[in-house]
Amino acid sequence: MDSPEDGQAPPDSSAPPSSSSSSSGGGEDGSSSDSPPPPPPPDPPTPAAPTSISKQSVPEIYPQVLALPIARRPLFPGFYKAVVVRNPAVVAAIKDMMKRGQPYLGAFLLKDENADSDVITDINSVHPVGVFAQITSVFAANSGLGAKEGEEEGLTAVLYPHRRIRITELIQPGGLASTAQVESIEAPLAAEHVDQVPTPPATPEPGAHEPLPQTTEASAAIMQTAFLQSYDISIVRVENLVTQPYNKDDQYIRAFMSEIVSVFKDIAQLNPLFRDQITNFSINQVASNVFDEPDKLADFAAAVSTGDVQELQDVLESLVVEDRLRKALLVLKKELINAQLQSKLSRDVDSKIAKRQREYYLMEQLKGIKKELGMESDGKDKMIEKFKERAASLKMPEAVKKVFDEELNKLQHLEPAASEANVTRNYLDWLTQIPWGQHSTENYSITHAQKVLDEDHYGLKDVKDRILEFLAVGKLRGTVEGKIICLVGPPGVGKTSIGKSIARALDRQFFRFSVGGLTDVAEIKGHRRTYVGALPGKIIQALKRVGTENPLVLIDEVDKIGRGHNGDPSSALLEMLDPEQNTAFLDHYMDVPVDLSRVLFVCTANMLDTIPAPLLDRMEVLEVSGYVSEEKARIAQQYLSPQAKEASGLKNADVELDPAAIDILIKYYCRESGVRNLKKHIDKIYRKAALKLVEDLGEDVFPEPTGATSSTDSGSDTQKSVEKQDPPPDKSAIAETVTPDAEHERKVTTVERKPMTVPDTVHVRITPENLKDYVGPPVYYKDRLYSKPPPPGVSTGLGYLGNGSGAVMPIEATLMPGKGGLHLTGKLGEVIRESAQIALSWVKSHSYGLGISATADEQILDHKDIHVHMPEGSIGKEGPSAGTALLTAFVSLFTKIKVNPDIAMTGEISLVGQVLPVGGLKEKILAAHRAGIKTIIAPEANRPDIEENVPESVKTGIRFVYVEDVREVLQEVFRGEPSAEKWKDTLKY
């Protein structure tokens, strides 16, 4: 729009009105019966102005005028409006009009909002009701009012509408539709513009027309504008429209007026721009009339609002004041609704911004307060600094470094209170605590290793030798990478502790975790970071804990790893252990590859059967078998007893556990293959001894170590404040105590304790006689289940228990009246029941040969039932290895020949009497050895196993008989029995 933007008064119309006291500033003629005379025309421009109009009165009758179409909104009497005219003919005509002192035209609103023309070619293109306006000033449109370069020379005319008129006839339509624009600008409401409304001169200027009688006046007026016909412009014939007379005091009119004023006020409150306009207007005298004159007020309301064009035109067209007021009120109300909406929107936006700003300021203040109080010195920066420092001390691989930088950058841009910041912080904490590139120097010294292993464990020669071999290879290769050791054996034989010893021998850090019953893959592979409370898996935790990349990680109970619902923990374990894969182990939480190849993995298991095959495949299995009684005694004397003595604070005391008492412990208290139970008993003995000692001597002998805990009281021999520089005594305990001082402040003092020196006068001996006082009555009363030779029907089997240890198992069979049934008790499994069936069937089928029945067809169990029981009924038994023992028990039962309890046997049998190989022989032999068995009958197929794998120490004192058939078993068991001699012939195939 190239018209003046704010309707500023044109430069040549700045003169104030000569008289502003007129009661109807710019009103229409005949507007009201009691209204003052019509408004005066504006002052003529100063003579210096390039275009000017001469001062004159506004003619009442002016029937023929130049018709100027106006775009977008109608003009209202009393309110200035600047228009831009570009049509050259119209421009020339206006200039001529000004020159001739006839600066009047009719302004009519174009019906089409988008139309743009300076001439009317069709009477229907404009609203017939418009205004009769005086051109108060003109100036070149291109001269400083925003006209663009190259545009057609135009003219800006400031119009002051005087009254309402209606077109009665288009007497000269404009030529071709002009391309020129007519831009209309709302007349400014500023006071000065209104001020420019000139007052009519008191007397007509010399040369001015005297009022003429109506017709004469009209024809004279037509004559006056005849010169316009030479221009290619639109000329219309018009008639004046007169507002119908009204009574100012009419209550409707007053009500409308006060309502309009109140709406004005409301809008002014909401819209500051509007308020400024009203204020400017109000200080003007003319304006005060506006609020007095109902017709003027209606026009004012319409002129200042941005209402609908048609509604505004309606206001213009209404000649009944009440009607005009109503329409103006409608327009104004819409303006109010607009303003209210605008204000609400702006308030909403404001409140949002204000809330955010408030939070920001409060946070800043909080930070400031915390800083002042020393509670937090910009924690985020400190933390970021800490992470950077940590990362700098590590040798992160490139890929990890990249992730670290990204996460750190993310943390920098997050609000510390945001939950994501917490996740990122934790992640960075983990990432910078993995010992990237940090490792301890390894010790491959064989002598050192030998020393360490012997220091910690008695015996276990095979295991120790294998470990030394392993170290020798490591020494030559410079690394022990790619090896997984698996220690297999019964409970309490030292698998875990030997793992610890290996770490000590190699000078590696040690970390242990158990996978027994583990079903959650996340324990090994970690949780994904998105979980609440997510953590990395065990191995990452291990690396963090030990702080080196090459620790020894002991994984306990690999044979008891569970099966997960989602994901298989054993395959996750494989991924972790497998040297082929673990160079880039991917933990779900860390999400960066971690090299585990430098970790030495040692696993422990009770048995190999349940270890997942792919895992077992990659392991180097070292069997750690149970101990025989002599070994147990040595371990107790050389290791367990001294350790327990020291642990009970009796290192320097004369307390002795007699070797004979240890033997009793082993024989009657702890018969299992490991030494854990024995260790427990020995620990118990020393603890009891300590209590006895303290009780006997009286507590006064031992000063209370924590009696005076204040740091000021350091006189006591037995305690020293840490402030003292003396090195702490060997293995002294560090105690933390709390002493309330005078001001009731909590004061923490750390004191050291020295082991007590037990007076020489005290001697404690634990002998077989007083052993009961320390460990209670024996668990086993007899050496064997049967102290005297058992009755016929009892044999001795050898079993292998689920925990990896062996046991001597007697089998009892009896006959009772019945119908030939077989009853089995002793918590026996399916396989063992079948073995009993097979054994019985074989005996039945060979009853004649065995001499049990007189004829081959005789029923041996005609009116009898057999009951088989295996004592220690609470322990479940399973497996086929009791076959030979069951068969022996049946033969003994039927032949009534007793079985020597010094003979134990193991072996699966087939229906035709073959003896098949069994497992767990080493542990079974160990159990037999402990039970004092003299002869073991084992399957021939197991011979190589026994001869090669079972240590000599375990086999000493036992005669082994290897058999392939049950007949050989019977020959051995019943050797020397006259009837058995016959079986050589009678039991042939």
- Please compute, for residue 923, the number of CA atoms within 13 A of its CA located in the half-sphere on the CB side: 27
* Nearer residue to ligand ATP within complex by CB, 294 or 492: 492
Q: In the bound complex, what is the minimum distance in angstroms from residue 677's beta carbon to ligand ATP?
A: 9
Nearer Cβ to ligand ATP, position 516 or 919? 516
**Helical residues (DSSP H) of 753-882, grouped into ranges:** 771-775, 830-845, 847-850
CB of 505 to ligand ATP, least distance (A): 15
Shortest spacing between CB 575 and ligand ATP, in angstroms: 24
The Cα 52–Cα 46 span in angstroms is 7
Is 680 noted as a catalytic residue in this protein? no
Residue 490 CB, shortest distance to ligand ATP, in Å, is: 7
Q: Measured between alpha carbons, how far is 43 from 924 in angstroms, rounded to an integer?
A: 133
Name the strand (E) or helix (H) holding 345: helix 321-372
Name 605's bridge partners: 488
Minimum distance from residue 752 beta carbon to ligand ATP (Å)? 27
DSSP string, 366-381: HHHHHHHTTS-S-HHH
Q: Which is nearer to ligand ATP, 336 or 554 (CB)?
A: 554
Instruction: Please state the closest distance from residue 674 (CB atom) to ligand ATP, in A.
Output: 6
DSSP state at residue 532: T
- The Cα 66–Cα 229 span in angstroms is 9
Closest CA relative to residue 935, chosen from 955, 915, 907, 949 = 955
Residue number, 63 or 806, with CB nearest to ligand ATP: 806
Closest residue to ligand ATP: CB criterion: 494
**What sign does the CA torsion over 329, 330, 334, 337 have?**
positive
> 625 catalytic, yes or no?
no
Task: For ligand ATP, give the closer residue by CB, 161 or 489.
Answer: 489
Contact 312, 318 (CB under 8 A): no
**Alpha-carbon gap, residue 616 to 612, rounded angstroms:** 6
Positions that interact with ligand ATP (CB under 6 A)? 457-460, 489, 491-497, 556, 604, 606, 635, 639, 675-676, 679
Nearest to 25 by CA among 383, 412, 293, 318: 293
Closer by beta carbon to ligand ATP, 481 or else 683: 683
Of the residues 35, 805, 881, 892, only one is catalytic, namely: 881
In order of 810, 925, 928, 935, the CA distances from 921 in angstroms are 17, 6, 10, 14
Element (H, E) at 811: strand 806-817
- Both tokens assigned to 931: 């039970």
Q: How far is the CB of 494 from ligand ATP (least distance, A)?
A: 3
Between 110 and 678, CB nearer to ligand ATP: 678
Smallest distance, Å, CB 639 to ligand ATP?
4
The backbone torsions φ and ψ at residue 944, rounded to the nearest 5 degrees and listed phi first, read -60, -40
DSSP character string of 737-760: EEEE-TT--EEEEEEEEPPPPPPT
Residue nearer to ligand ATP on the CB measure, 180 or 558: 558
On the 0-12 / 13-18 / 19+ scale of CB atoms within 10 A, 220 is middle
Residue with smaller CB distance to ligand ATP, 673 or 892 = 673
Collapsing DSSP to helix, strand or coil, 647 comes out as: helix
Nearer Cβ to ligand ATP, position 670 or 764? 670
**How does DSSP assign 661-700, residue by residue?**
HHHHIIIII--SSSSHHHHHHHHHHHHHHHHHHHHHH-GG
Under 8 Å between Cβ of 241 and 129:
yes
Q: How far apart are CA 266 and CA 283, in angstroms?
A: 19
User: Which residues sit opposite 736 in a β-bridge?
Assistant: 750
- Two tokens, residue 55: 């001062």
For the CB of residue 596, give the shortest distance to ligand ATP in the complex, in Å. 23
Residues in CB range of 592: below 8 A, 6 or more apart: 399, 400, 403, 431, 586
Exposure string for 800-838, b = 16+ CB within 10 A, e = fewer: bbeebbbbbbbbbbbbeeeeeebebebebeeebeebbeb
User: Given 464, 877, 924, 955, which residue is catalytic?
Assistant: 924
Which of 458, 894 has the CB closer to ligand ATP? 458
Q: Let me know the angle formed at the C-alpha of 876 by 871 and 879, rounded to the nearest 5 degrees.
A: 100
Residue 689 beta carbon to ligand ATP: minimum distance, rounded to whole angstroms: 19
R_g over Cα of the chain: 59
Instruction: State the nearest-atom distance from the C-beta of 552 to ligand ATP, in Å.
Output: 14
Please give the single-letter amino acid code of residue 969: V
| Structure-derived torsion over alpha carbons of residues 91, 93, 95, 100, reported in degrees to the nearest 10 | -170
Name the residues annotated as catalytic: 881, 924
